[in-house]
Amino acid sequence: MSQSIKLSSLFLCLCLTSIAGARTAADEPKPKPENTISVKLAEPVPAQKFEPAPKFSITDVTDRSGNPQPMVVFKDRGGLFLDRQPTAILREAIDDSLKSANLRADDPGSADLTVRLYLFHFGLAQGSGLDFFSKVEFSAMVKNPKTGESQEVKATGTAIARGAVRKKNIQKNVEENLQEALKDATRNFLRGVQLKEAINSLWKAPDASPVASGMVDSKTANTGNHQ
Amino acid sequence: MRMWMAVLCVCLMSLAGTARAKESKAEFKTVEAKHFKEAEGVELSPAFSDYFYAELRNELTKAKLASEIVGEGEAVDDADAATSGVISGTITEYKKGSVVKSALIGFGAGLRSLKMDADVVRRSDSENLCVLHVHIRIDPRWNEKIMAKAAARQMVNEMKKALKERKAA
């Protein structure tokens, strides 16, 4: 008799565990077209002016956030997902801005300076609970491929948006907020004093132009003739 | 009727004129907000600093004190440096507060408290434009980010007031 009670209680426990597991799996949000947002810069961020300007190339973007689900922005209310990996979004934002400022090398081999990006945070951060607080934080390793020297440049972007109750409004506010943070971080990198200092220390413009050297050559030749 | 129409047109035009004057009346061309330092003994979460920085920039944008709010460490054109400001400061004191004291005693006892000092300097010559002192007290059960929000709002209000007084003097 006691054996049958033990068996039935064990069976009951197994049933409860399986039900709990199934409910947890059902609560886990899944990416669908209606809960996926697209984060990208509305327009390229204007970079600071460099005289003369070097050409950059982005070699790689590494995710160092340690987030096991980098594409999940918001877990509650059915979840909110990014349409691409945050590394791809960041790469596109910086690449487009460099291109619009005519600072991007056409092919990676011809770049004066290479940039390797390390992404530390992309998405919502802990806010007051009354609003949405987005943060984009990354670090760039600017390297001169000829000399092998490199320097680190840090950039952060933050944005605060109003909170929302309706799912549709949450989606809209989070999307705008993330775009603002991405724009802020890109701007912080491209207009930062750190980038300027890195360029000044790592790269020197070739000073002798072919026309000038040609003139020197002809002068030398003339002097030679006179002698 | 024509007379009235003419008067209405003049009124509208004068209103439009004042609106334009208000838009272009920003105190600074750019303002750079910096992350506030924490004095020894101040134990706030690392996220507080970032949140306060974001909130301060948000409040500065809302207050329309500058045409542009630039991020920390961003370069500003030399031509704009004389009309640009930099705001930096220190969190001098933070008291966590006590929920028990607040509930049992009341009358302001056990409240969470935050003190901050900030300086607004001109970018070109580092001339001190105003010194700000902010003291915030909130219920100890509230999130510290709400305290950051209140502190940022009060700081911008103090800044507005101080700059107004300076202008008047």
Which of A138-142, B8-12, B62-66 is modeled with the greatest confidence? A138-142
- Mean pLDDT, chain A, whole residue set: 83
The length of chain A is 227
Whole-model pTM: value is 0.79
Q: Is the pLDDT of residue B82 over 50?
A: yes
Residue with more model confidence, A28 or A137: A137
Residues of B in contact with A188 (CB under 8 A): 71-74
Task: Round to whole Å and give the CA distance between B3 and B57.
Answer: 48
Asked if the ipTM is above 0.85, the reply is no
Q: Is the pLDDT of residue B15 over 50?
A: yes
Whether A125 and B75 lie within 8 Å, measured CB to CB: no
Q: Please name the helix (run of DSSP H) or strand (run of DSSP E) that holds residue A124, with its range, or none.
A: strand A113-125
3-class SS string, chain B: CHHHHHHHHHHHHHHHHHHHHHHCCCCEEEEEECCCEECCCCCCCHHHHHHHHHHHHHHHHHHCCEEEEECCCECCCHHHHHHEEEEEEEEEEEECCCHHHHHHCCCCCCCEEEEEEEEEEECCCCCEEEEEEEEEEECCCCCHHHHHHHHHHHHHHHHHHHHHHHHHC
Task: Round to whole Å and give the CA distance between B153 and B60.
Answer: 9
What is the full DSSP assignment across A147-174?
A: T--EEEEEEEEEEEEE--SSHHHHHHHH
Q: Is the pLDDT of residue A219 over 50?
A: no
Whether B55 and A194 lie within 8 Å, measured CB to CB: no
Whether B71 and A160 lie within 8 Å, measured CB to CB: no
Residue B47's pLDDT band (cuts 50, 70, 90) = confident
Q: Is A89 on the interface with B (CB under 8 A)?
A: no
Residues of B in contact with A128 (CB under 8 A): 51, 143, 145-146, 148-149
Percent of chain B with pLDDT over 70: 89
> Which pLDDT tens digit goes with each residue over A123-157?
988 877 788 999 999 999 999 999 999 999 999 99
Identify the CA nearest to A175 among candidates A32, A35, A27.
A35
Q: Is the pLDDT of residue A65 over 80?
A: yes
Q: Which residue from B minimizes the CA distance to A154?
A: B73
Chain B residues touching chain A at CB-CB below 8 Å: 47, 50-51, 53-55, 57-58, 70-75, 143, 145-146, 148-149
> Which pLDDT tens digit goes with each residue over A67-106?
899 989 888 888 889 999 999 999 999 999 999 999 999 8
Q: Looking at the partner chain, which of B51, B53, B73 has a beta carbon nearest the beta carbon of A193?
A: B73
Whether B71 and A157 lie within 8 Å, measured CB to CB: yes
Task: Round to whole Å and give the CA distance between B35 and B135.
Answer: 18
Residues of B in contact with A176 (CB under 8 A): none
Evaluate whether A152 touches A140 at the Cβ level (below 8 Å).
yes
Q: What is the pLDDT of residue A199?
A: 93
Chain B nearest C-alpha distance from A168 (Å): 24
Q: Where exactly are the structural domains of chain A?
A: 67-202
> Which pLDDT tens digit goes with each residue over B83-141?
999 999 999 999 988 999 988 998 888 999 999 999 999 999 989 999 999 999 999 99
Residues of B in contact with A125 (CB under 8 A): 47, 50-51
Neighbours of A90 (CB within 10 A): 24
Whether B148 and A184 lie within 8 Å, measured CB to CB: no
Q: Is the pLDDT of residue A24 over 80?
A: no
Q: Is the pLDDT of residue A226 over 50?
A: no
Task: Round to whole Å and give the CA distance between B156 and B164.
Answer: 12
Q: Is the pLDDT of residue A166 over 60?
A: yes
Residue A11's pLDDT band (cuts 50, 70, 90) = confident
Chain A nearest C-alpha distance from B150 (Å): 11
Residue A21's pLDDT band (cuts 50, 70, 90) = low
Q: What is the CATH number of domain A67-202?
A: 3.30.160.150
Whether A128 and B149 lie within 8 Å, measured CB to CB: yes
Whether A192 and B145 lie within 8 Å, measured CB to CB: no
Topology, domain B27-168 = Rossmann fold (3.40.50)
Neighbours of B71 (CB within 10 A): 21
Q: Which residue from A minimizes the CA distance to B70?
A: A188
Token readout for B61 is 């944008």
Q: What is the pLDDT of residue A61?
A: 95
Chain B nearest C-alpha distance from A161 (Å): 9
Count A/B contacts: CB-CB distance under 8 Å: 54
Q: Where exactly are the structural domains of chain B?
A: 27-168
Whether B146 and A191 lie within 8 Å, measured CB to CB: no
Q: Looking at the partner chain, which of B71, B75, B143 has a beta carbon nearest the beta carbon of A128?
A: B143
Task: Round to whole Å and give the CA distance between A83 and B141.
Answer: 38
End-to-end CA distance of chain B: 48
Task: Round to whole Å and give the CA distance between A161 and A130.
Answer: 9
Residue A213's pLDDT band (cuts 50, 70, 90) = very low
